[in-house]
Structure 1
Amino acid sequence: MPEGHTLHRLAREHRRHFAGAPVRVSSPQGRFTDGAATVDGRILERAEANGKHLLHHYEGGAVVHVHLGLYGKFTDAALPMGEPVGQVRMRMVGAEIGSDLRGPTACEIWDPTQVVALEQRLGPDPLRPDADPDRAWRRISKSQKAIGALLMDQAVLAGVGNVYRAEVLFRHGIHPERRGRDLTRTEWDEIWADLVVLMAVGVEAGVMHVVRPEHDHGAPAYAVDRPRTYVYRRAGEPCRVCGTPVLHTVMETRNLFWCPVCQES
């Protein structure tokens, strides 16, 4: 599932390509026909991301809410666009470019009250300028749950997924099973600051870069088209820092990776 930096990058691209002008919106697949008609031809006032949610705000107050889920993807094309290929849930056509959305978990019309409800149920997003890390800390510092689970709870922290969870805990030498209440405030502040930087790099580069330059060598990435990681999807491989085999388990249905030496406690 795409992590928060992907949604913020999409929001930035959609602001650049579509905001401030009327957008033709359709649903070639047919599953978003009524929703598309609601905003078709209206001016897109702004696009924003909050955690793993993308929001298109149109004149008149209608909002298109998109959650990509596991398979959702936008594909851009120059104008004039050809006939839709595959199951296109939503097609957006602006003055200079078009974009097709396929396979999202959600693509629906919201009103402003639903946007407010989303903001209230999500934890702070490290990529948003209005984010308050104290909100997350208040929950983490009182919790008996493992920090590895808390970082993935979107009600605690919005936008962080499996890769950033594994990598930021490694970068700060924290065992993923340590209870939230056993984390120090200094450790939390350092984790938050690191996420702000790492996820912003992801927005700019379009891919995650989580390995420090001095460790960015040796064993290849876990996949051809992916950057190197410290522990994510490297079970059994030597740690890039100490050489100990990386361990793997499942925490709350999600794969978890860590180094038993570098993250001893």
Structure 2
Amino acid sequence: MPEGHSVHRIARQFARNFVGKRIRLSSPQGRFVDGAAMLDGHIMTDARAVGKQMFLEFDHGLWLRVHLGLYGAWDFAGDIHANGTDAALRNRRRRPIARVADDQMLDSAGEDSLHSIGAPRLTRLRMAEGEKVSIEPDGFPPEPIGQVRVRLLADDVVADLRGPTACVVLDPQEVQVAMDRLGPDPLLDDGPAAEDRFVTVVRKKPTPIGRLLMDQLVVSGIGNVYRAELLFRAGLNPHAPGKSLSDEQARALWRDWAHLLKIGVTTGQMLTMDGLGDAAYGRALRRRADRHWVYKREGLPCRVCGTHIALEEMAARKLYWCPTCQA
């Protein structure tokens, strides 16, 4: 399932390439005909992500809410430009595996957000948990591929959505209700109020912290990868009740989530290992096996203590953790 960094990157793709343009909506698959008709021909005025959900606003006040779920993905094609938030990188001198700043990471393989979120003219860009550029389509707009729930088409760009858990049209009141139900997202609000909200909820709950981090009503955007990595980085047992955490531990979790989310949005990768040298950093960007502490490392020795990484199920998802470092 795409985690928070992917959805924020997709929302920024829409903000950069679709907002301000008149959009033609259709449902090639036929399952969203009525919803597409409600938005067809209107100008997109906003695009925002809250955790794992994305909201697209149109000039007549209606919104399109999309939750990709386990199988959803967007394809972009046409005159796609890089994420506008990365414009400052264009004027910087690039070098392989360079660190421009803590929140602006580049690599020689083009896996930073300037390249992986954008695409050259008339190429197709897949955006889900793994972002991959596929073959060039023949002409514009390209024919829909697969079961496209909804197509958003402007004069020069197109976005196709397939396999979402949710794809619905909402009015402003319904959008506000949907957003208010979600837990805080540090990319939308990294102030003390959002942090306090997270800390207060966590420290009241007898629920294991490994479950709380996956609850989108507690905190937005954390999925299976970030859950495992955040808990390892904090040295927390995933079975520890939320109310057993100290105030300092809960606040450190929130701040580390904000830190990792920012890196994920910038690089396009769930890079959770800090302090890497240039060679290790390059490997981490290229290979998932080299970018995580515990995720998908079951049976392998812990990178810190050598204990075999454990695998079990929690909240209907696989949980990876070190029984020694997280005792």
Specify the code of the residue in structure 2 equivalent to 1:212. D
Q: Which digits, 9 at most, give the CA deviation of each residue in 1:217-263, with x for residues without a partner?
A: 5xx88x95665211111111111111111011111222111111111
Q: Which residue of 1 aligns with 2:237?
A: 175
Q: Secondary structure at the match of 1:25?
A: strand
What's the TM-score, normalizing by structure 1? 0.93
- Equivalent of 1:128 in 178, 184, 188: 188
Q: Which digits, 9 at most, give the CA deviation of each residue in 1:22-76, with x for residues without a partner?
A: 1111111111111111111111000001111110010111100101011111011
Identity score, percent: 46
* Runs (5+) with no aligned partner, structure 1: none
- Equivalent of 2:302 in 234, 239, 244: 239
Q: CA deviation at 1:172?
A: 1.1
Query: Are the counterparts in 1 of residues 312 and 319 from structure 2 also a CA contact under 8 Å?
Result: yes
CA shift in 2, pair 1:149/1:108, >3 Å: same
What's the TM-score, normalizing by structure 2? 0.76
Q: CA deviation at 1:140?
A: 0.9
Query: Are the counterparts in 2 of residues 11 and 47 from structure 1 also a CA contact under 8 Å?
Result: yes
Q: Secondary structure at the match of 1:200?
A: helix
More displaced 10-residue stretch of structure 1: 122-131 or 151-160: 122-131
Q: Secondary structure at the match of 1:28?
A: coil
Query: Is 1:116 the equivalent of 2:179?
Result: no
Aligned residue pair count: 262
- Equivalent of 2:203 in 126, 141, 145: 141
Q: Which residue of 1 aligns with 2:82?
A: none
Distance 1:231 1:206 in 2: 19
Q: Secondary structure at the match of 1:213?
A: coil
More displaced 10-residue stretch of structure 1: 245-254 or 6-15: 245-254
Distance 2:145 2:313 in 1: 37
- Equivalent of 2:145 in 85, 99, 103: 85
Specify the code of the residue in structure 2 equivalent to 1:147. I
Q: Which residue of 2 aligns with 1:53?
A: 53
Q: Secondary structure at the match of 1:12?
A: helix
What does residue range 1-265 of structure 1 map to in structure 2 within 5 Å?
1-78=1-78, 80-129=140-189, 132-214=194-276, 217=280, 228-264=291-327
Distance 1:226 1:76 in 2: 28
Query: Are the counterparts in 2 of residues 246 and 257 from structure 1 also a CA contact under 8 Å?
Result: yes
Distance 1:260 1:158 in 2: 27
Q: Secondary structure at the match of 1:98?
A: strand
Distance 1:189 1:248 in 2: 26
Query: Are the counterparts in 1 of residues 23 and 154 from structure 2 also a CA contact under 8 Å?
Result: yes
Distance 2:65 2:261 in 1: 22
More displaced 10-residue stretch of structure 1: 125-134 or 30-39: 125-134
Specify the code of the residue in structure 1 equivalent to 2:152. M
Specify the code of the residue in structure 2 equivalent to 1:262. C
Specify the code of the residue in structure 2 equivalent to 1:234. R
Q: Which digits, 9 at most, give the CA deviation of each residue in 1:194-220, with x for residues without a partner?
A: 111111111111111001234995xx8
Q: CA deviation at 1:119?
A: 2.0
More displaced 10-residue stretch of structure 1: 71-80 or 155-164: 71-80
* Runs (5+) with no aligned partner, structure 2: 79-121, 123-139
Query: Are the counterparts in 1 of residues 209 and 238 from structure 2 also a CA contact under 8 Å?
Result: yes
Distance 1:203 1:226 in 2: 19
Q: Higher RCO, 1 or 2 (CA under 8 Å, sep at least 6)? A: 2
